[in-house]
Each structure stands twice: as C-alpha cells, then as structure tokens.
Chain A
Amino acid sequence: MAVRKDQSTLTSTERRDFVDALLGVKRSGRYDDFVRTHNEFIMSDTDQGERVGHRSPSFLPWHRKFLLEFERELQRVVPSVTLPYWDWSRDRTPDSSLWGSDFLGGNGRSRDGQVMSGPFANLTGDWSIDTQVDTRPFLRRALGGGGRSLPTRADIEAVLSVETYDAPPWNSTSWSFRNLLEGWRGVNLHNRVHVWVGGHMATGASPNDPVFWLHHAFIDKLWADWQTRHPASRYLPDTPTVNVVDLDSTMRPWNDVTPRDMLDHTRFYTFDTEPSRVP
C-alpha cells in the first residue's frame, strides 16, 4: 500500500526520486494536461452555475481523484514515488527545506518573481511554463508576499471542528467544513496558502508550480482527518441537487467516478500518521 509522507521527513533519495518523476512527467507532455484541466475547471466552476472542481461539495473528491491520476503519472516514471504532503502550519517560512535547491527550489526574485534556484527554475531548461496566463515562460513565486502568513494549527483545528460536511447553497458562500477548508469563508485555509505562495500558485494555472500537489495532498489529508474526527458525518448533498455533484453522481472530466468512490482514501493509499495496512 502506498504511503503519503510529510515532505519534511523524506530522505534525500526520496526527494530526488520525486523531483525526477516530476521532471519526467513534464518532459512527456502529460504534466501540462493536468495544468490545462485545472485551469478549465477553475474558469467554468461558478457559484451560480454548474460547479465540480471548486467552490462546491465535490472540491474534495474531485481533487482526490485529480491527485490520484497525477500520482499514477509520477509512478510511470519512478514506480516507488508517492505524493508527499506539505503541512504548512508547521513548515511555514521560506527557509523551510521544502524550498531547498534539491527539492522545490526557492522564492522568486523581487524584480519579476522568477524562481532562480532548484530543479524548476527556467534556467535549468527542464521547466518551461507552457500553459500560461501571461507571456512569462518561467515559474514564479512570491512566498509570503505582502506580509501574509500561513494558517496555524489553531486555524486547522477550528475548521476540523465543524461537523457538517457542506450546506446549501453548496458554493463559496456556504458555512460548512468544506467551504471553511477551501477558504472562501472563515479563517481561510486552502485559498490562503495559494495566495501565500503567490506567482503561478495564485492563478488558475496553479499546478504549474509543483508545490500545488504537496499543498493539495495536505488538504486531502485534512479531509481524512476530519472523517476520523466525525465518523457520523457524511458527504453532502446525498440527493440530486441542481448544478452540484451529489454523493452518487459522476464527476467530470472522468465521468466514471463519484464522490462515494473517493470517500475512503485507504483504498488507494494511507498516510504516514496512520497504522500501515496490508492490502
């Protein structure tokens, strides 16, 4: 069974394997399929209309499936690789080893936001930005720009304590675990981290930055943690609801997977904080 680990605990070999797998998927051209898919969903998911990937109950199962598909691509390059997660409530400064030149590389320079160190700096020749929102071909970041700070453990606890998975009107105005985790209401967890990283991570083409996967792997873990904490709570809505993916409706773009199929992550992987299981 695959184990997803806290990125700060990876060995130097695991770090190198993960980077090699990312570069391999990029080289194959498949990486940009993921960037493009994410960008298309973020532009079409609206509070007033059909919404699947974001600002809706299926935000969590949609990203769980999206990450599973991406993890499989990584494993086609390096079979032992799993997605690590970034607990930004602990590794909360630009000095973190996450941003080391042997892993995700550092901050963007102030002049144009260009990342100048690490495997994903444009000057390596291995990481051009091919699915763009603007004409700049290099990865950009502005870690903690504008004096922003990452959410704290207390912020996480405040969100995990919410019992109700989601609530009408099932969008960015809902008061619910899902929307507080996504960040459109309350202390703001997921959205705030995108903004803190800045550069591409602040845009609809956010998967251009490999930290996208580590951020969402942690959001995905917080969903699992919430399930453990609230065993009586369930995915909502569980009956057909206009413009929204209910428990047993299929999600685009796959059309063969429902939120129910995604509820139990242990079918696919476990986290390093859980007892290991024999498949």
Chain B
Amino acid sequence: MRTRRRFLRGGTAALAALAVAGTTATVHQKEFDRATGKGEGGASRTGSTAGEPFDETYKGRHIQGWPTDHGHHGTGGGYRVLIDGTELHVMQNGDGTWVSLIDHYEVFATPRALARSAVDNLAGADLVPSPEHS
C-alpha cells in the first residue's frame, strides 16, 4: 500500500485515473476515434506534423497514438500514446524526434517506435498513470 499512497500524492487526477481506469480507457478510446476520423463527426488529422496516428497490437500489447490539438501534462506537445489504455507520457524534441517517460534519454523517429520500445522495456508490466503536475 506504501507504493500506491506515495504515488497518489502526485494529485487527485492520478487518483481519479486509478479509481476509474475503465472509464478513462473508454474516454481515451473515444478521443482516439475522434482524432483519427473513426467516430462520428471526427476529422482525420492524418498528415499533421505532430505525427501519424497508429493503433496496433505489438507483442500482445495494445498500443495507440494520435495527434491532439493541445498539450497534455504540460508538455505543450500535441500527441498522446496509450499502452493497453494507460497513457504514456511523451514529448517531442525541437528537431521532431520523440522521447517517452520510459525512455527519456533516448530519441525515437516516431511515436510508434517509442511505444514499441516502451512495450519492450515493460516486459509485460503495466504502466502506472503519470502524476499530474501544475
């Protein structure tokens, strides 16, 4: 329990994310559908400079990524990546390459490459939702 308490000190948003993980995944899926034009009224954003959307199973894990209009977790970045429905914090470098919280000192050409590397690193473990920060 020590683990969970420490982690959750990060903020109520993280607490909510854990408490309603299923709901959060659903919201994420709707966002993905909208961003990639799958859902009703969604405009495809293919061709965005922020990176192409992707949705695949890699080594048994469901990885998804799509460009967003606004930054998340204060990154100012316009892209979200999910692994089995849990958000992986990602960031775009000034030269267009990418890093993630799992590989924060190594750059990747695309968010998909970054997501696959995170799956390799996780070796079957689950991501912990990132704490929100101000």
A positions within 8 Å CB-CB of B = 32, 36, 39-40, 42-44, 46-49, 55, 111-113, 128-137, 169, 171-173, 183-184, 190-192, 194-195, 202-206
Chain B 30-84 interface residues, beta-carbon cutoff 8 Å to A:
73-77
Q: Which listed residue, B95, B123, B128, touches A112 by the CB 8 Å rule?
A: B123
CA distance A181 to B3 in the complex (A): 34
Q: Which listed residue, A46, A113, A194, touches B105 by the CB 8 Å rule?
A: A194
Q: Determine the residue in chain B with the shortest Cβ distance to A198.
A: B121
Q: Determine the residue in chain A with the shortest Cβ distance to B10.
A: A36
Specify the main secondary structure of chain B where it touches its partner. loop
Q: Which listed residue, A131, A195, A206, touches B6 by the CB 8 Å rule?
A: A131
> Which of A48, A192, A206 has the most chain B CB atoms inside 10 A of its CB?
A48
> Which of B10, B102, B105 has the most chain A CB atoms inside 10 A of its CB?
B105
Q: Is there an interface contact between B75 and A135, defined as CB atoms closer than 8 Å?
A: no
B-side contacts of A40, CB under 8 Å: 131, 133
Q: Is there an interface contact between B106 and A203, defined as CB atoms closer than 8 Å?
A: no
Q: Which listed residue, B6, B89, B91, B126, touches A130 by the CB 8 Å rule?
A: B6
B122 within 8 A of A: yes
Given A43-B133, A130-B2, A134-B126, the answer on whether A184 and B93 have CB atoms closer than 8 Å is yes
CA distance A111 to B6 in the complex (A): 27
Q: How large is the interface on B (under 10, 10 to 19, 20 to 34, 35 or more residues)?
A: 20 to 34
Q: Is there an interface contact between B77 and A46, defined as CB atoms closer than 8 Å?
A: yes
CA distance A235 to B131 in the complex (A): 33
B-side contacts of A195, CB under 8 Å: 103, 105-106
Q: Is there an interface contact between B123 and A113, defined as CB atoms closer than 8 Å?
A: yes
A-side contacts of B131, CB under 8 Å: 36, 39-40
Given A36-B10, A40-B131, the answer on whether A173 and B93 have CB atoms closer than 8 Å is yes
Can you spell out 25 A-B residue pairs with CB atoms less than 8 angstroms apart? Answer: A36-B9, A36-B10, A39-B101, A40-B131, A43-B89, A43-B101, A43-B130, A44-B73, A46-B91, A48-B76, A48-B77, A111-B123, A128-B3, A130-B3, A133-B128, A134-B127, A137-B3, A169-B94, A173-B95, A195-B105, A202-B103, A202-B105, A204-B89, A206-B104, A206-B105
Given A47-B93, A128-B2, 7 more A-B residue pairs with CB atoms under 8 Å apart are A40-B131, A43-B91, A44-B75, A47-B92, A132-B7, A169-B94, A172-B93
Q: A85 to nearest B CB, angstroms?
A: 19
Q: Determine the residue in chain A with the shortest Cβ distance to B95.
A: A173
Q: Determine the residue in chain B with the shortest Cβ distance to A170.
A: B94
Q: B95 to nearest A CB, angstroms?
A: 5
A-side contacts of B133, CB under 8 Å: 40, 43-44
Q: B30 to nearest A CB, angstroms?
A: 24
Q: Determine the residue in chain B with the shortest Cβ distance to A54.
A: B104
Q: Is there an interface contact between A135 and B94, defined as CB atoms closer than 8 Å?
A: no
Q: A116 to nearest B CB, angstroms?
A: 15
Q: Is there an interface contact between A48 and B94, defined as CB atoms closer than 8 Å?
A: yes
CA distance A184 to B7 in the complex (A): 29
